[in-house]
Structure 1
Amino acid sequence: MFDRLVQLIVDSLKLFMFWTVVPSYAGGVILRLGTFHRLATPGFHWVWPFSIETTLLTNVVPETMNVGPQSLTTKDGVSIVIATVVTFGVSDPKVFLLEIEGGNQVVDDSTYGVVSELVLSKTWDELRHTDVANELTKAVRRQAKRYGVDVRSVAVSDLTRSRSLRLMSPHLKHVAM
């Protein structure tokens, strides 16, 4: 019972806060009555109390994301498995926070799509002998930019021929290996 009373007092005091502090690793937006009012850069900001203005923050420093392995088939019919690591940061907190849902999922989905398109358009030899990471970085960067994300690099962490066989025809029951 006492802990609920303390929580009520703390929550009540938060209504009277007329400032917010944005840490150096974050960026964000200040909403007035639920609509965008201004950007919140690192530092001290005055805000209207009683939740008239609220602050939404996101991490803007670079981070990495492992994009899980994808089983794909190249243009010449070779089954491969490819996995990537994406290094990115938020470049536009307004777009990232207010115009999309699930920002990190956007990076993951964009990378999956671009990797798939690239692999399907190249042969196995082309994949092994070209700068795939550079091509992927450029394409993922273009895709993610519209979501307020700056992709710094895409590295291929695994590119191997697949050992499994995926049956394409529903009438095939089994395949001897």
Structure 2
Amino acid sequence: MQRNSKSTAGTSKRGPIVLVGMMGVGKSTVGRRLAARLGLAFVDADEEIEQAAGMTISEMFARYGEAHFRDGERRVIARLMDGAPKIIATGGGAFMQDDTRALILDHATAIWLDADIDILVDRVSRREGRPLLKGKDPRTVLTGLAAQRNPVYALAPIHVKSAAGPHEVTVDRIVEQLKT
């Protein structure tokens, strides 16, 4: 749990707070609880994308491919960046896209939720519908993705470690970081 000294711009304004990080880290679950704690609205970007497209993310990946999905994801996140205070949970790959990452860093407070691979593997095994894991070993995929993505997630000005315990502990850590 630390604040990234590279960029603290945006952490003092009261605009959107965007949760970024690997699949399974708890962005949606923690985001809902953080929003309730702070009295803000919660938006799950993946749910918004599915609503806008009229199909699931898995269907979008299968029918149109990842590039098409990422373009729609960027457009939906841009729409959500309306300046209003809210908590936004993004998909694991959203922050990896240059345009989407720039939008988040310029118009919101980005928080990297991080967790050990064992925790991620345990959590993703409880839910189906993750296109990047379809037919693959979750540990192998997550280890590779973490090696690739963690340096980019580290660009978020706030870094909070999520543990195996209750999500409220992670919410407490985020609230503390937002106060500093």
TM-score, normalised relative to structure 1: 0.27
Higher helix share: 2
TM-score of the pair, normalised by structure 2: 0.27
